[in-house]
A and B are shown apart, each in its own frame.
Chain A
Amino acid sequence: MKLPRRHLLGALPAGLLLSGCDALTRNATARSVIQSAEQATYRWQRLVGRNGLAREFSASDISPVFKVNGTREPTNPEWQRLAAGNFAEWRLTVTGLVNRELSLSLADLQRLAQRTQITRHDCVEGWSAIGQWTGPQLGPILRAAGLRDGARYIVFLCADDYGGEVGKGGLQSTSRYYESIDLVDAFHPQTILAHSLNNQPLSTGNGAPLRLRVERQLGYKHAKYLMQIVVADSLDPFGSGHGGYWPDRGYEWYAGI
């Protein structure tokens, strides 16, 4: 005899099954059960790979063009003014739960010990590109500021208002881009604030003057057009409280997968 499998489900009228599924995807209880998988993935990856390093490639692997995604140029007048001045007046501020607030110019950041890494950028949409990034590690900057008790998240506030892309689906309302990571990723040796891509200052499309590289997560975590770093004990005060522009629109906050 044959092992009978799946016939009941398979034989259900497709329409019934489909509308049932669509209704379930909108049901609050179902959503919270489904989204609990993110916590499982987060804990699992921290368990098996807390200190793992993303693969670093050789110069010959670098993609001929590093695809620009998300914002191509911020329309925000403040960013436009800074860009017109070649970012000489741009400052990255580090505030929040720190002992010393910092205000760093591009030259300040370039005077710190630099790390150069050739890594693969994995987009949530499915494509990948390899680029060589240069900049200071985030860890020493946070140590210089001194984290106060209760610090749990590092929040990155950006200069761009993003209106989303139809291709990514979900709610696409325009708002200021931001992202956040935990302290494990913040102090990871490959987490850097990149000012250069392939030995050139970041192009406008790739996030000038500074973008985050958090190599063990998907592309949308790598916030571009950085303006401010806030050390926080909670993500509630930022955006809709899910820790990032895309997480506020249903994407996982922990984008390790």
Chain B
Amino acid sequence: MLRHSLVVRVTHWINAAAIILLLMSGLNIFGAHARLYWGDTGSVEQRDRQWLEIGASPPWRTPTGWIDIAGIRLDTTGFLGVSQSRTGSASFVAFPHWATLPSGRDLATARNWHFAFAWLLIMNGLLWLAHAIITGRLWREILPNRRQLSRAQLWHDIVEHARLRFPRGEAALSYAVLQRIAYAGVTLVLTPAVILTGLAMSPGMNAAWPWLDALWGGRQSARSVHFIAMVLVAAFLVIHLVLVLLSGPIRQIGAMITGRITVEARQ
């Protein structure tokens, strides 16, 4: 039977590509100034509202990479601050080459890619949202309904996830409550937040829409929230992929490519 419509499948895979490229180019962009602040301003000359920094410390023969979050410093040598370049030498970049696009320090190219795929993400997201609203899928499939939000249902779904037991048969044809909360959170909260904080870093957009950066408490706050939202999107991505792998990857991915799925007999 048909599980996913053509619009859902096409927008899903465009979204997948866009998000991965946005994450990677964004990590490269972050490397140009690996500090985060609250408020309107912040620079190496004005660090009173800095709350995060990624850096490296001597001795330079055996450097230490670290992340400093609100004064708590964690050693991240090999991953953040200092990592191995492709040639094996020590590279003093915030995120390692395998996580960024392009792999080397290149703010200009990273920005070109980030904005191109930001446009794609926005257009694709609007198409998905319009389709979800027009077909009613948003309420039927994405937003958790009142019955699902009961304490018993929530607890049941948490226990099922903890036991790695996934719905089968007819029950597998609609999303359970945790899944709906995750999808609704990513599509209706996190993605809009990422887009609006991204735009709030743009001096042109802030002049056009003065509420944009005010909404987040200033450009540097918007940059901080953009980063935090990125971490949450990345976390969703990891959990999503793990759950697909655990719940029958061939069937699941097949359904998202062909749109069709066979209903398994209940066990």
- A35-B112, A256-B203 as given contacts; A4 in contact with B106, CB under 8 Å: no
**Residue numbers in B under 8 Å from A73 (CB-CB):** none
**CA A99 to CA B200, docked complex, whole Å:** 40
28 cross-chain CB contacts under 8 A: A1-B261, A2-B247, A3-B4, A3-B12, A4-B254, A6-B244, A7-B252, A7-B253, A9-B16, A18-B103, A21-B21, A21-B24, A36-B116, A37-B118, A38-B115, A48-B208, A63-B43, A120-B219, A122-B203, A125-B107, A126-B29, A126-B201, A127-B33, A127-B43, A127-B220, A168-B108, A216-B203, A251-B111
Are B116 and A4 in contact, CB atoms less than 8 angstroms apart?
Answer: no
Q: Which chain A residue lies CB-closest to B237?
A: A6
Are A167 and B32 in contact, CB atoms less than 8 angstroms apart?
Answer: yes
Are B219 and A128 in contact, CB atoms less than 8 angstroms apart?
Answer: yes
Are B113 and A169 in contact, CB atoms less than 8 angstroms apart?
Answer: no
Interface of B is mostly: helix
A interface size (C-beta, 8 A): 66
**Residue numbers in A under 8 Å from B172 (CB-CB):** 1
**CA A11 to CA B252, docked complex, whole Å:** 14
Are B220 and A128 in contact, CB atoms less than 8 angstroms apart?
Answer: yes
Q: Which residues of B are at the interface with A, using a C-beta cutoff of 8 A?
A: 3-4, 12, 16-17, 19-21, 24, 29-30, 32-33, 35, 40-46, 97-98, 101-113, 115-116, 118-119, 166-167, 172-173, 175, 179, 183, 199, 201-210, 213-214, 219-220, 223, 237, 240-241, 243-245, 247-249, 251-256, 261
A1-28 residues with Cβ-Cβ distance < 8 A to B are: 1-11, 14-15, 18, 21-22, 25
**CA A1 to CA B104, docked complex, whole Å:** 40
Are B205 and A4 in contact, CB atoms less than 8 angstroms apart?
Answer: no
**Residue numbers in A under 8 Å from B30 (CB-CB):** 126
Tell me, yes or no, whether A177 is within 8 Å of chain B by CB.
no
Instruction: Give which listed residue, B40, B204, B243, B254, contacts A2 with CB less than 8 A.
Output: B243
